[in-house]
């Protein structure tokens, strides 16, 4: 049995879902993978809780985890440096919401964890966008793992397929419906809902970004595209290299008229190798019935890889909610210890 210390940064939608999921699955993880996850500490922006005996963790998770500050274990002075002790191997699970330009606050936390010999898995895209190469190189130099499936499509296994199943192929293009919120909005508008109602529904499902402007202005899809394309196509794109047109402006009439012509309007994110350059964009596109992403509706996501030797390979589905993101974090942790 391998004991894995877990420090959890961020206790919002995804952080709580992760704590709950890993607690629910503790016996399965022990039996199937020989892994015993030990939640050592949980942090919010205002402090944290350091967990000692398993019973304390159980109490926290069994109750309303959102009210962590009411726990007798709550410590507003607790700093991440305390549980991230050097030499004690474990995983920092990053569920903060960081600025994509500075990468903070997640970037500082990830740097600290790697410097102290901890693996990192992150749902937070900000640090990766700001310092992708630096973080990957630091982790590799130190023999540590940096897992970011949860930031690059979460339950949609885009990276697993692109990096694992397509090994040895050269990928000429990646095309995806990478944002569940905007796909849900387009689907609901096609069914007659107005934009604001559809967005509110997506927020109620917990799938919208903490700031939903990130979804509807295309930033979330652009960031996922960046992570998937840079990882699987060996590129070094920056956010500025991606042309992004916001979702706003697409009305019901356009959706209905496209449907009459056998087309579907989708908020597509695409990177393509052209003769002399790389074209990268996120925009509403009309796709025909024959397109592999045509039927990807609602909160579903999907990605198609155009390869030189395996043809077009598409993966679709995967839950688009905090529990799906939590499951992707858990998968990355399992794969760290499996390898």
Residues in contact with ligand NAP by the rule CB under 6 A: 9-15, 43-46, 95-97, 105, 123-125, 150-151, 154, 206-207, 209-210, 321-322, 325
Nearer to ligand NAP, 121 or 265 (CB): 121
| CA 150/CA 63 separation, integer angstroms | 25
To 10 degrees, the CA torsion angle through 305, 151, 122, 312?
-10
Shortest distance, position 104 Cβ to ligand NAP, whole Å: 8
Shortest distance, position 12 Cβ to ligand NAP, whole Å: 2
Shortest distance, position 94 Cβ to ligand NAP, whole Å: 8
Q: At what angle do helices 13-24 and 322-338 cross, to 10 degrees?
A: 60
Shortest distance, position 4 Cβ to ligand NAP, whole Å: 20
Nearer to ligand NAP, 44 or 131 (CB): 44
Shortest distance, position 168 Cβ to ligand NAP, whole Å: 29
Beta strand pairing call for 278-288 and 146-147: unpaired
Nearer to ligand NAP, 218 or 322 (CB): 322
Told to judge if 319 belongs to the known catalytic residues of this protein, a careful annotator would answer no
Whose CA is closest to 195, among 212, 219, 176, 209? Answer: 212
Shortest distance, position 329 Cβ to ligand NAP, whole Å: 9
Q: Which residue is nearest to ligand NAP (CB)?
A: 12
Structure-token match 């474990």, residue found = 90
Beta strand pairing call for 312-316 and 302-307: antiparallel
Backbone torsions φ then ψ of 169, nearest 5 degrees: -95, 160
Sign of the Cα torsion 180, 186, 188, 191 reads negative
Backbone torsions φ then ψ of 296, nearest 5 degrees: -85, 100
Nearer to ligand NAP, 10 or 83 (CB): 10
- List the beta bridge partners of residue 174: 271, 305
Nearer to ligand NAP, 123 or 237 (CB): 123
Nearer to ligand NAP, 173 or 184 (CB): 184
| CA 198/CA 336 separation, integer angstroms | 38
Whose CA is closest to 156, among 87, 225, 214, 253? Answer: 225
Classify each residue of 14-29 as buried b or exposed e, where b means 16 or more C-beta atoms within 10 Å of its C-beta: bbbbbbbbbbebbeeb
Output the six-digit token pair for 267: 């908020």
Shortest distance, position 112 Cβ to ligand NAP, whole Å: 11
Catalytic residue among 125, 224, 266, 331: 224
Nearer to ligand NAP, 46 or 290 (CB): 46
Whose CA is closest to 69, among 46, 52, 53, 96? Answer: 46
| CA 156/CA 320 separation, integer angstroms | 8
Whose CA is closest to 102, among 79, 133, 136, 125? Answer: 125
Residues labelled catalytic = 224
């Amino acid at each position: 049995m391998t004991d894995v210390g877990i420090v959890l940064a961020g206790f919002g939608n995804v952080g709580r879902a992760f704590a709950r999921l890993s607690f629910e699955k503790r016996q399965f993880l022990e039996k199937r993978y020989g892994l015993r996850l030990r939640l050592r500490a949980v942090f919010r922006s205002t402090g944290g809780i350091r967990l000692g005996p398993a019973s304390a963790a159980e109490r926290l998770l069994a109750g309303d985890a959102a009210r962590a500050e009411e726990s007798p274990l709550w410590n507003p002075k607790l700093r991440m440096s305390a549980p991230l002790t050097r030499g004690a191997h474990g995983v920092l699970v990053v569920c903060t919401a960081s600025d994509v330009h500075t990468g903070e606050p997640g970037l500082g936390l990830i740097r600290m964890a790697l410097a102290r010999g901890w693996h990192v898995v992150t749902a937070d895209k900000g640090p990766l966008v700001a310092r992708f190469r630096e973080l990957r190189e630091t982790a590799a130099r130190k023999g540590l793992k940096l897992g970011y499936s949860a930031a690059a499509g979460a339950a949609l296994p885009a990276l697993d397929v692109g990096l694992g199943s397509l090994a040895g192929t050269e990928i000429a293009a990646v095309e995806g419906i990478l944002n569940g919120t905007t796909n849900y909005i387009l689907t609901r508008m096609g069914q007659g809902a107005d934009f604001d109602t559809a967005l509110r529904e997506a927020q109620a499902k917990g799938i919208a970004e903490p700031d939903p402007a990130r979804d509807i202005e295309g930033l979330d899809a652009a960031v996922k595209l960046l992570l998937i394309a840079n990882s699987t196509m060996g590129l070094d794109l920056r956010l500025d290299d991606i042309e992004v047109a916001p979702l706003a402006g697409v009305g019901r009439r356009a959706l209905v008229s496209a449907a009459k012509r056998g087309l579907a309007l989708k908020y597509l994110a695409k990177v393509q190798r052209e003769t002399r350059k790389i074209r990268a964009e996120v925009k509403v596109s009309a796709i025909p019935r024959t397109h592999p992403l045509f039927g990807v509706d609602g909160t579903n996501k999907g990605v198609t890889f155009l390869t030189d030797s395996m043809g077009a390979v598409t993966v679709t589905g995967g839950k688009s909610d905090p529990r799906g993101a939590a499951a992707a974090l858990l998968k990355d942790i399992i794969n760290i210890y499996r390898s």
